[in-house]
Every structure is written in C-alpha cells, then in structure tokens.
C-alpha cells in the first residue's frame, strides 16, 4: 500500500467511526437528568419530578407519560411537596444558601423564593397548609416557614444531617431523620436518632435507633398516623469484616416508630437469608394503609410489605425481657457472638471483661437479627432502571424515580395484577461517562456477593457512616473509623494506618475483600474516576464564603511557629501525607504512627481520629494528640476557640 492509500484508509476509518458514535449517542454524553424525588398533584393526574443533575422540575402527565412542563431551578432540586389544596408546589433547591421555591402547581410560575440554610431538603407541609418544615442538612437544623407570610419563623435544632421530615396526622409532631450517628465511635453502642419536634412549642425529643443504625434516608407516616417508618442501614460494625453473608457486615432495615408514645417498636430487616436488599432509600404507604413500599437504591428493587401483617407480627414479639431472662430467652447466636467480641475488645483495652450491659436488641426482642422476619409478608419487585430513590404512591400504583437511568418505574401494587412494572423514559437514554458509571457502580450492591452492601453503604455520598469497622487490611481487633473518600486519590498513602499505598489500591482491595467480588479492571477505573471528581462542599462555618474573623485569627495560629499545625497539615490539602506518632495509639492498635488526614471538610466528618474517639474538634485539640505535646498549655480558651473555628471552616 502506498502512503497515499494508507492516508485515505485512515480517513475513511475515522469517518466511519464518527458515524458509529453519532448513531449510538442518542443522548449527549455526560448530560443527565438525575431524577431523585417525585410527588403527585393532589388530583392524582400529574407527577412533579425533581431532576437533581439537570436542575429542573418536570410536570409529567400520568396518563400520557409525557413531560408537559419543565422549569429550571436556581440550584439542585432535592425535595418536593404539594400544599393540601393542591395549588402550590414547594421545591427545595440545595446550595450553601438554599432556597425553597413556591410554585404555582398548575402553571409552574415561581411565586416566591424563601431563603434557607445550607443544603435544604426533605420539605413537608402541615395538613392545614399553614406551615412548612424543611431540613437544612449541613446546618443540622430545620426551618419552620409560615406560609401566609412566607417567612421563616423558627429554626429548630436537629442532631446531624437531617434529611427528611414527616408530620403526624394530628399535626402535633414533626419527625425528622438524621442521616448519621453523632456519637463517638469507639464504643459498642453507636446509633443515629430520629428527632421529634413538638409543633406547638418547637421543643424536641429524640428516639434512638438500635446500635449500628446509620445512613437514614427515608421516613413516612402510616395513613392512620399511629406509626412512622424509617429506612436505614443496620451496620454490624462490631464484627470483624471477614464475611458479608447473613448481614454480617451491613444489614438493611426498616424501623417502626410508635408516634403517640414516641418510641421505637422494632427494627425489621428487609434482607433475606441469602440475599441482601441493600441501601433502602425512600418509604411510602398506600392511602388505605395496606402496603408499605421501600425503594432499594443498591439492588434496584421495590419492597412491597403487608403493613397490617407486619405490625401484627411485630407487636406480638416479646419486648426486651427482664434482666434475669437475658441469656436464656433472647440470646441467639449472633448476640452471643457480638457480646463475645465486645468483651474481647474490652479486655484488650484493659477494661474489665464484664463492663457494660449485655448486648441490647431492638425494642421487639430479637427482631433486628431475624433475616426471615418478612417471609410471606413482603414481595421484592425487580425494577427496570438503576438507582431507585424517590417514591410516591397514587392509588395502587407506586412511582419510582430511577436516578442513574433517567427513568420512572410504575409498579402495580395489587399482588395479582399482570405486567407489574412499566418503565417510562424521562428523557433520552443517558450515555454514561466513565465518571458517571463509576458513581453508579459505587452505589450498586449488585457488585457485592449476595447484594448485601455497596461502597456507599459505609461511604454515603463518598463520605463516611460515622462508624468504626474492623477491616482486615491492618489485622483484626483494631477498629478504624470510616474515612471520607474526598481527596483520597490526591493524598496517598490511604487508610489511617497508611497500609495502602494509594486510593487506587484501596478501591481494588475494597471490591475484593469488602464486597467479596471479582470485578473487571474497568470497574475500578470508573470508581477511581468518580471519586477523583468529588468536590468539597463549602463549610457551613464560612460567612458569605469567607472565613469569619474568629477563623481568621485561628488561621494565624494554625500557621504560626508557635502552634504549627501546618507542620503536618500544610495547605492546600492540609496533610503532609506522612505518618506521625502523636500519641493517639489506643491499647488495641498495633501501630503508634498514623497517616495525617486532610482537614478539608473536617466539619462534616466527625467523629475524629483513627478510632473516632472525639465528637468535636475542641475535644480533640484540648484532650487529643494533635497539639498536646507542644502548645496545649500555652493556648488560652479564646485561642483554642479560634483555632477550632478555622479548622471547621476548611
Ligand atoms: C463495611 C464498610 C465499608 C465498605 C462497604 C467500604 N468501605 Fe472503604 N473504608 C471503610 C473504612 C472503615 C475505611 C478506613 C479504614 C482505615 O482507616 O484503616 C475505609 C477506607 C477506604 C479508602 C481509603 C480512604 C483514605 O483516604 O484513607 C478508600 C479509597 C475506600 N475505603 C474505598 C472504598 C470502596 C471503593 C468501596 C467499595 C468497593 C468501599 N470503600 C467499601 C469502610 C468501608
Ligand atoms: C506531628 C504532626 C501533627 C501536628 C503538628 C498536628 N497534627 Fe493533627 N493530626 C496528625 C495525625 C497523624 C492525625 C491522625 C491521628 C489519628 O488518626 O490517630 C491528626 C489528626 C487531626 C485531626 C482529626 C482529623 C480526622 O479526620 O479525624 C484534626 C482535626 C487535626 N489533626 C487538627 C490539628 C490541629 C488543629 C493541629 C495544631 C494544633 C494539629 N492537628 C497538629 C498530625 C499532626
């Protein structure tokens, strides 16, 4: 072949490959809708869908399946709710300074924008239509809005990362789920709580879920208002992570709350003996109270649970028995095992082996360990799309927003109906970039042996679950607090003991030894690409995007020769990527030196140090290793407060 012939051949090749690309690429690469939340109009004829990635709201005619209106939002829409008279649609738009849009539910006209806090989500309106409750996720509080004046009338504290709200039928209480536990992690009783606001006084109480409850995502009330249902992960963080089956690492759960008594009735596992149902997300009930539906974001399924049968069975269970019966009645194998490990570690830490009460169960004894509890009470329905998140029910149909495929699944809930699941495309079929595919895999429990967990089970939003785990990378018996994956790829080595040379290596070993899966190399590359793209969220401690004056003073101390935090935590990543012995070794640790963590987003990643022993930076600075040796004694309270303010602003 001559040179000229070769060139023509090359051009033809390029031409034809371009043609192929043009044909395959229906939707444009990298453009996603990201449907995350769906609510029906009051007349049940329309659906409002929030597209988190495309930043708009779509009005979908249910009968035709067509998008009739599309309205751009000023920031990522995270949640929707409709006024009781059906005339207004409220849309939370999440940003550092969020807003809630008041929209005409018919025309889509934006009537008002009410300013809110950091990352607004989970709105609910009272039945009389007078008030709106909205979570400010990263301010850890809830805004109460008067809808007549369209003004925020109160901000009520929640516990940690409130995500969703539900109002009881009598309007007396608002229940709020907190995404993560807010406790030190080096004990054997760590759990997230549900906050309850008294709507009259704005006073709050909390209900603690069983130990290991983390990653709360959804809440709803039963139509009769007697119960609330909460979806979450039930982590068995106490056990060494040598197996994943039988929910040994992460089980997946639905907690049932008695709203009148304000107590937990019990926590039911939504997994089955040989098949996990990972990452339960949203929950909703049919209006007749017959079915409770749960989306499983990790396994792309919908659970349809027989509500009366579930309550009957749960209420018939013995409640936690009197102490003299513990050991005979309720001790099943798992509890004995958990207790064994707890005692073993107490001994290792040099505490008496008998410390603490015997291992506590969920309120209804034994239920939270029973992988057969829902047998015969629940149908698991496979959905067609990937990443089912938001859920709404109209009549006997469930509508599920499927985040990764830009689809909506319509599921017929009556057991005998044919063609149970229909799928509706909400836009062109998305062409996944490597990054997006990585995000999908990261959230996909189908990678895991028997689908018990995804990477996101312990690393929600690529961050952390607030729990300690006994991973096998550095030997057994020395639990480590889950690390956020923000900047992991830029700050080798990884793991608090620095045993993995790079995040790339941790991703690959994570698949193998945490998900117990063999996966092709391209999956790991996709996950790397996704994790590298994760951007820090601006700190809620910043004032208009800048350091407060206290933080400015703290900054000077941080970089000063006297305090010299920056010796080990230099800007811009706030880590020197080395190991240091700062005296933080606990009796269970085999090593003295730990990898210096980045301090970016540290406002969000409590508890602190490799074993999660401190819940606040102040505790860490005054009691912990970091500055104790050199400068603790010399810093005044004010200086410490300024230093804390700076670190929390990063
Ligand atoms: C059972 C909970 C759990 C699951 C599931 C899990 N991880 Fe982790 N991950 C952890 C804990 C705990 C650490 C910190 C361990 C340490 O410091 O020794 C960690 C650390 C990491 C790190 C190092 C972070 C750093 O900067 O030091 C990476 C990277 C990582 N995980 C990726 C993944 C990926 C990818 C998956 C899914 C394949 C995954 N993890 C699944 C618990 C988990
Ligand atoms: C000699 C090096 C060194 C110096 C100096 C130092 N640190 Fe650290 N810092 C570390 C190491 C190593 C860790 C991790 C220890 C562990 O996990 O047990 C750490 C952990 C932290 C953490 C917890 C982060 C997390 O995610 O758990 C914070 C916050 C912190 N340091 C702030 C500071 C501040 C503020 C100063 C100055 C007063 C300071 N450090 C000085 C090495 C240092």
pLDDT at 187: 84
85 and 100 in contact (C-beta within 8 Å)? no
Residue spans of the domains in the chain: they are: 434-533, 549-648
Q: Ligand 1: which of 238, 495, 611 to mutate, judged by most atoms within 8 Å of the beta carbon?
A: 495
pLDDT at residue 307 greater than cutoff 90: yes
Cα–Cα distance measured from residue 438 to residue 119, given in angstroms and rounded to the nearest whole number = 24
pLDDT at residue 442 greater than cutoff 50: yes
Cα–Cα distance measured from residue 261 to residue 240, given in angstroms and rounded to the nearest whole number = 36
pLDDT at 246: 87
Mean pLDDT to the nearest integer, 7-12: 55
pLDDT at 5: 56
pLDDT at residue 16 greater than cutoff 90: no
Q: Ligand 2: which of 626, 629, 635 to mutate, judged by most atoms within 8 Å of the beta carbon?
A: 626
Measure the N-to-C terminal CA separation of the chain; round to a whole number of Å. Answer: 62
Nearest CA to ligand 1 atom 43: 458
Q: Name which of 237, 193, 207, 220 is nearest 457 in CA terms.
A: 237
Output the six-digit token pair for 610: 């490799």
pLDDT tens, residue by residue, 217-245: 999 999 999 999 999 999 999 888 988 98
334 pLDDT band, cuts 50/70/90, is low
Interval between CA 468 and ligand 1 midpoint (Å):
11
Interval between CA 483 and ligand 1 midpoint (Å):
6
Interval between CA 461 and ligand 2 midpoint (Å):
24
- Does the beta carbon of 467 sit less than 6 angstroms from any atom of ligand 1? no
317 pLDDT band, cuts 50/70/90, is confident
- Does the beta carbon of 459 sit less than 6 angstroms from any atom of ligand 1? yes
Q: Which ligand lies nearest to the CA atom of residue 462 in the structure? A: 1
Full DSSP string of 588-619: T-S-S-EEPPP-TTGGGS-SBTTTT-BSSHHH
Q: For CA atoms 68, 70, 76, 77, give the dihedral sign.
A: negative
441 in helix, strand or coil?
A: helix
Interval between CA 482 and ligand 1 midpoint (Å):
6
Q: Which atom of ligand 1 is nearest to the CA of 524?
A: 35
Query: DSSP character for 283?
Result: E
pLDDT at 310: 95
Cα–Cα distance measured from residue 505 to residue 488, given in angstroms and rounded to the nearest whole number = 11
pLDDT at residue 182 greater than cutoff 90: yes
Burial class (CB in 10 A: 0-12, 13-18, 19+), 109: exposed
- Does the beta carbon of 496 sit less than 6 angstroms from any atom of ligand 1? yes
Average pLDDT of the chain? Answer: 88
166 and 175 in contact (C-beta within 8 Å)? yes
Does the domain spanning 549-648 belong to CATH 1.10.3210.10? no
Give the phi and the psi of residue 567 in degrees, each rounded to 5: -60, -45
CATH architecture of the region 434-533 = Orthogonal Bundle (1.10)
244 and 452 in contact (C-beta within 8 Å)? yes
Q: For CA atoms 121, 469, 532, 625, give the dihedral sign.
A: positive
Cα–Cα distance measured from residue 270 to residue 251, given in angstroms and rounded to the nearest whole number = 8
- Does the beta carbon of 617 sit less than 6 angstroms from any atom of ligand 2? yes
Interval between CA 599 and ligand 1 midpoint (Å):
18
Nearest CA to ligand 2 atom 3: 568
pLDDT at 353: 47
pLDDT at 411: 95
Interval between CA 455 and ligand 2 midpoint (Å):
26
pLDDT at residue 325 greater than cutoff 60: no
Nearest CA to ligand 2 atom 2: 568
Mean pLDDT to the nearest integer, 413-435: 88
pLDDT tens, residue by residue, 451-503: 999 999 999 999 999 999 999 888 888 899 999 999 999 999 999 999 999 99
510 and 528 in contact (C-beta within 8 Å)? no
Interval between CA 208 and ligand 2 midpoint (Å):
31
pLDDT at residue 355 greater than cutoff 50: no
Q: Which ligand lies nearest to the CA atom of residue 448 in the structure? A: 1
pLDDT at 240: 85
pLDDT at 8: 54
Q: Which ligand lies nearest to the CA atom of residue 618 in the structure? A: 2
Mean pLDDT to the nearest integer, 433-460: 97
pLDDT tens, residue by residue, 131-151: 999 999 999 999 999 999 999
pLDDT at 352: 52
215 and 465 in contact (C-beta within 8 Å)? yes
pLDDT tens, residue by residue, 359-371: 444 456 667 888 8
pLDDT tens, residue by residue, 36-86: 999 999 999 999 999 999 999 999 999 998 999 999 999 999 999 999 999
208 and 191 in contact (C-beta within 8 Å)? yes
pLDDT tens, residue by residue, 85-114: 999 999 999 999 999 999 999 999 999 999
pLDDT at residue 208 greater than cutoff 60: yes
Q: Which ligand lies nearest to the CA atom of residue 591 in the structure? A: 2
18 pLDDT band, cuts 50/70/90, is very low
Nearest CA to ligand 2 atom 40: 626
- Does the beta carbon of 563 sit less than 6 angstroms from any atom of ligand 2? yes
- Check for a shared fold between 434-533 and 549-648: yes
Q: Which atom of ligand 1 is nearest to the CA of 598?
A: 26
- Does the beta carbon of 495 sit less than 6 angstroms from any atom of ligand 1? yes
Cα–Cα distance measured from residue 474 to residue 498, given in angstroms and rounded to the nearest whole number = 9
Output the six-digit token pair for 475: 């030997």
pLDDT tens, residue by residue, 112-133: 999 999 999 999 999 999 999 9
Query: DSSP character for 319?
Result: B
């Amino acid at each position: 072949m001559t040179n000229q012939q070769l060139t023509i051949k090359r051009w033809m090749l390029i031409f034809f490959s371009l043609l192929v690309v043009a044909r395959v690429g229906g939707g444009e690469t990298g453009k996603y809708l990201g449907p995350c939340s769906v609510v029906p109009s009051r007349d049940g004829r329309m659906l409002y869908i929030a597209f988190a990635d495309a930043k708009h709201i779509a009005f979908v005619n249910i009968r035709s399946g067509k998008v009739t209106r599309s309205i751009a939002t000023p920031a990522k829409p995270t949640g929707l709710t409709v006024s009781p008279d059906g005339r207004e649609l409220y849309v939370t738009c999440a940003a550092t300074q969020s807003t809630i849009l008041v929209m005409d539910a018919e025309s889509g006209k934006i009537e008002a924008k009410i300013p809110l806090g950091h990352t607004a989500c989970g709105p609910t309106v009272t039945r009389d239509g007078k008030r709106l409750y909205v979570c400010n996720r990263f301010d850890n509080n809830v805004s109460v809005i008067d809808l007549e004046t369209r003004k925020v009338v109160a901000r009520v504290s929640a516990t940690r990362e409130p995500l969703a709200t539900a109002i009881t039928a009598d309007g007396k209480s608002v229940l709020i789920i907190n995404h993560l536990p807010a406790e030190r992690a080096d004990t054997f009783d760590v759990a997230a709580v549900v906050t309850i606001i008294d709507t009259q006084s704005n006073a709050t109480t909390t209900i603690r879920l069983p130990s290991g409850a983390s990653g709360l995502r959804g809440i709803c009330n039963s139509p009769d208002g007697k119960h609330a249902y909460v979806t979450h992960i039930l982590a068995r963080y106490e056990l060494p992570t040598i197996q994943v089956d039988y929910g040994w690492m992460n089980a997946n759960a639905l907690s049932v709350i008695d709203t009148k008594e304000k107590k937990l009735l019990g926590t039911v596992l939504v997994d089955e003996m040989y098949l996990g149902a990972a990452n339960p997300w949203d929950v909703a009930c049919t209006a007749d109270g017959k079915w409770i539906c749960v989306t499983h974001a990790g396994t792309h399924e919908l659970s349809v649970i027989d509500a009366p049968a579930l309550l009957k069975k749960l209420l018939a269970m013995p409640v936690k028995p009197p102490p003299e019966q513990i050991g005979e009645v309720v001790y099943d194998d798992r509890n004995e095992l958990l207790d064994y490990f707890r005692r073993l570690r107490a001994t290792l830490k040099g505490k008496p082996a008998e410390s603490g009460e015997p291992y506590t169960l969920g309120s209804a004894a034994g239920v939270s360990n029973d992988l057969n509890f829902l047998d015969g009470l629940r149908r698991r329905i496979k959905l067609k799309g990937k990443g089912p998140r938001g859920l709404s029910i109209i009549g006997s149909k469930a509508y599920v927003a499927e985040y990764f495929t830009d689809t909506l699944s319509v599921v017929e809930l009556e057991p005998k109906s044919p063609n149970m699941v229909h799928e509706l495309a909400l836009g062109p079929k998305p062409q996944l970039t490597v990054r997006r595919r990585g995000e999908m895999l990261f959230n996909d429990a189908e990678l895991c042996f028997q689908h018990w967990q995804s990477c996101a089970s312990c690393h929600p939003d690529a961050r952390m679950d607030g729990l300690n785990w006994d991973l096998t990378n550095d030997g057994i018996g020395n639990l480590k607090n889950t690390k956020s994956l923000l900047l992991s790829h830029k700050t080798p080595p990884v793991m608090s003991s620095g045993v993995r040379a790079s995040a790339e290596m941790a991703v690959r070993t994570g698949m193998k030894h945490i998900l117990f899966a063999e996966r092709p190399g391209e999956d790991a590359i996709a996950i790397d690409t996704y994790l590298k793209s994760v951007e820090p969220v601006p700190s809620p401690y910043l004032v208009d995007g800048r350091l407060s004056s206290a933080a400015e003073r703290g900054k000077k101390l941080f970089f000063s020769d006297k305090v010299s935090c920056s010796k080990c935590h230099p800007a811009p990543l706030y880590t020197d990527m080395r190991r240091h012995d700062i005296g933080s070794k606990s009796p269970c640790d085999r090593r003295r030196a730990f990898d210096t963590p980045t301090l970016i987003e540290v406002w969000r990643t409590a508890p602190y140090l490799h074993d999660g022993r401190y819940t606040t930076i102040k505790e860490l600075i005054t009691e912990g290793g970091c500055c104790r040796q050199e400068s603790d004694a010399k810093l005044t309270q004010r200086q410490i407060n300024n230093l804390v303010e700076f670190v929390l602003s990063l």
